[in-house]
Amino acid sequence: MADKSTSRDHIEDLMTELTRTRHVLRNMTDTAHRLHNDAETHKAEVEELRYQLALAREEANQAYKRADMYRAQHAALGERFAEMCAIQGDLMRKLEEAGLG
């Protein structure tokens, strides 16, 4: 027959270990839930950043298109200005010739 105090001590040791294990598992579960929530939060933040990046890219593309359009308009105005200067130069020569001739 087993010694009751030895069996009781053994059972108490097992209960203490079980309690300690339960505490560790509870901590691990709480940590897992917290990490899961943190991951979901970061995932939502990343999605928001991706959305903002897509908007910024679209805005940049529109800005490049506007810049190209303005550059083309500027070149056309430069050509017209050069034509006007040439016409003005011709007119000034003709006036000089008419005044001198």
Torsion angle in degrees (nearest 10) through CA of 11, 14, 15, 17: 160
Number of C-beta neighbours around residue 77 at 10 A? 10
87: its two tokens? 């016409």
d(CA 29, CA 37): 12
Coil, strand or helix: which one is 72?
helix
Report pLDDT for 1. 47
pTM of the model: 0.55
Q: What is the pLDDT of residues 15-41, one digit of tens each?
A: 999 999 999 999 999 999 999 999 999
**Nearest-angstrom CA–CA distance, 68 and 74:** 10
pLDDT tens-digit profile of 65-89?
A: 999 999 999 999 999 999 999 999 9
